[in-house]
Amino acid sequence: MTTFEYAPAPESVRPHLRERYGLFIDGAWQAAQDGRTFETIDPATEARLAEIAYASAADVDRAVRAARKGYEKYWRKLKPADRAKYIFRIARAITERGRELAVLETMDGGTPIKESRDFDIPTAAAHFFYYAGWADKLEWAMRAGRTPEPLGVCGAIVPWNFPLLMAAWKIAPALACGNTVVLKPAETTPLTALALAQIVQEADLPPGVVNVIPGDGATGAALVEHGGCDKIAFTGSTEVGKTIARRLAGSGTRLTLELGGKAAHIVFADAPLDQAIEGVVNGIYFNQGHVCCAGSRLLVEERVHDEVVARLTERIATLRLGDPLDKNTDIGAINSRAQLEKIDELVRSGIADGAELVQQPCTLPERGFFFPASFFTGVQQSHRIAREEIFGPVLSILTFRTPDEAIEKANNTPYGLSAGIWTDTGSKNMWVAQALRAGVVWCNTFNQFDPASPFGGYRESGFGREGGVHGLYEYLAG
């Protein structure tokens, strides 16, 4: 028998990485007022990548003031078509430096290069292209008689799972609508946000229009509590989202929240099973499951349960876990040690609750944070692994007997971000989709994104929509 092993295929592009990064405020690189810094590491090797200035409350204040000045002095006065030119410039620069940004994203966050290269970065660029096109056509987004007016200064707090893409989701519509932005990237993944700041600088945006202030939760809290923002856009955990909502209640500050999820992925017995398995694999193992809309609860019609489990077991054995920079890697590194510990804790709770764990057979690299592609069978609705967001490559498999039962179980969650349905019966696909309480329902596919398509949640998955014409309303008054 021939062995057809894949030789290492490491991405050869090496990004230009600075030793130190400052804060990007008012169009210039600045040290933190108190000189504080933190390190960002490569989660696949635990090697230090760069030293980053840490923004504390005083720096947040500087950034918000710079954004206000940028808004009043330049951005709100600019002709919409000229705003579009700047945004197009950013889009083009992201495209031109796509490979370098992809490598940076992978090094800082652990996502496989094939995903950062083919999804994260192109989709980020696509958002800037899409919203650049809207900048001088906002009247057409409004109801008759309404005039589009910007809100002012927008604080954007983004997570570590899709760092540049989440920044793009917020910055692109904000700028198109005439707002200025203070972006707070996640503590573990500041590098592409800082690369974006470089792009903004080179694109010659007026000072203060985009500001980037790396830091941790305290920095984000300072931005929320500052009071100088007209709007806060947050993507992250439901817990933090609730805190922000409480802080801003009654303040008049606009808020959009894109929070956690525990999406039901429903596989009916009449589904195209081979493709459904691919959808399930994409749904839970894409980006190591660090996806808020991950299809993390698989609801399988009981009569095909064993077959689905057998096929999934075979399929995950072919997943390639390892160096995220290798072009053939399917499962990269877990974003941080803290996240790895959280995944581990929830997996142990699943075992303790009596569910059965299946994992891909593989050796984990000695260094770095890795977790094998995993799923649980015999999961009950009452188990923690059926209710809490694991945010890792761990799927919980439950069963149902009838469509009504599938719908009931799918909706029996405090979340409502996404859902998936697999059936070859078109009409069933449609009426089940209607019955699911989720912001996005994918039919015979999963994880499809387009800048023209709105995305957002129900209930504890948040409110407000990002993407499409709906995404504009979150950044417009009137």
Question: Which residues are CB-contacts of 426 (< 8 A; sequence separation ≥ 6)?
Answer: none
- In angstroms and rounded to an integer, the radius of gyration of the C-alpha atoms of the chain is 22
Could you tell me how far CA 33 lies from the centroid of its own chain? 30
Whichever of 2 and 363 has its CB closer to other proteins, that residue is: 2
Amino acid at 166: M
Between 331 and 476, name the residue whose CB sits nearer to other proteins.
331
Please identify which of the residues 258, 389, 460, 474 carries the catalytic annotation. 258
Which residue reads 């660090």 in tokens? 290
Q: Which of residues 233-272 bind other proteins (CB under 8 A)?
A: 270-272
> Is residue 356 annotated as a catalytic residue, yes or no?
no
Using CB under 8 A, which of 275, 381, 402, 412 touches other proteins? 275
Q: Is 154 among the catalytic positions?
A: no
Taking the least distance from each CB to other proteins, the nearer of 234 and 422 is 422
CB of 326 to other proteins, least distance (A): 8
Q: Which of 95, 313, 445, 453 binds other proteins (CB under 8 A)?
A: 445
Q: Taking CA 110 as the corner, what is the angle to CA 12 and CA 184, rounded to the nearest 5 degrees?
A: 110
Closest approach, Cβ 372 to other proteins, in A, equals 18
Nearer residue to other proteins within complex by CB, 10 or 354: 10
**395-434 positions binding other proteins, by CB under 8 A:** 424
- Dig out the tokens for 337 from the structure: 């040690």
**CB of 318: closest distance to other proteins in angstroms?**
5
149, 278, 344, 405: which one contacts other proteins (CB under 8 A)? 278
Three-class SS state of 345: helix
Q: In the numeric block, which tokens belong to residue 52?
A: 């980053």
The Cα–Cα gap between 9 and 374 comes to: 25
Q: Which of 148, 279, 462, 467 binds other proteins (CB under 8 A)?
A: 279
Number of neighbours of residue 279 by Cβ within 10 angstroms = 23
Q: Work out how close the CB of 375 gets to other proteins at its nearest, in angstroms, rounded to a whole number.
A: 19
User: From the centroid of its chain, how far is CA 151?
Assistant: 24
- The least distance separating other proteins from the CB of residue 271, rounded to whole angstroms, comes to 7
Of positions 34, 118, 239, 408, contacts other proteins by CB under 8 A: 118
Per CB under 8 A, 274 contacts other proteins: yes
Q: Which residues pair with 419 in a beta bridge?
A: 264, 441
Interaction between residue 9 and other proteins (CB under 8 A): yes
Of 154, 177, 229, 292, which residue is the catalytic one? Answer: 292
Alpha-carbon distances of 315 from 259, 275, 277, 311, 312, rounded to whole Å: 30, 12, 8, 6, 5
Nearest to other proteins of 270, 302 (CB atom): 270
Residue 12 within binding range of other proteins, rule CB under 8 A: no
Q: What is the DSSP string of 145-158?
A: T---EE-SEEEEE-
Strand 153-157 to 149-150 pairing: unpaired
Region of 2-10, 134-142, 248-256, 287-295 interacting with other proteins (CB under 8 A)? 2-10
First to last CA, the chain: 69
3 counts as binding other proteins under rule CB under 8 A: yes
Distance CA 57, CA 5 (A): 53
Residues 290-319 that bind other proteins (CB under 8 A): 318
Q: How far is the CB of 274 from other proteins (least distance, A)?
A: 5
- Window 315-344: residues binding other proteins (CB under 8 A): 318, 327-328
Which helix (H) or strand (E) covers residue 299, if one does? Answer: strand 297-301
Q: How far apart are CA 325 and CA 117, in angstroms?
A: 10
Residue 434 Cβ vs other proteins, minimum distance, rounded to whole Å: 20
Helix (H) or strand (E) holding 476: strand 476-477
Contact residues toward other proteins (CB under 8 A) are 1-9, 114, 118, 270-276, 278-279, 318, 327-328, 424, 444-445
Residues taking part in catalysis: 258, 292
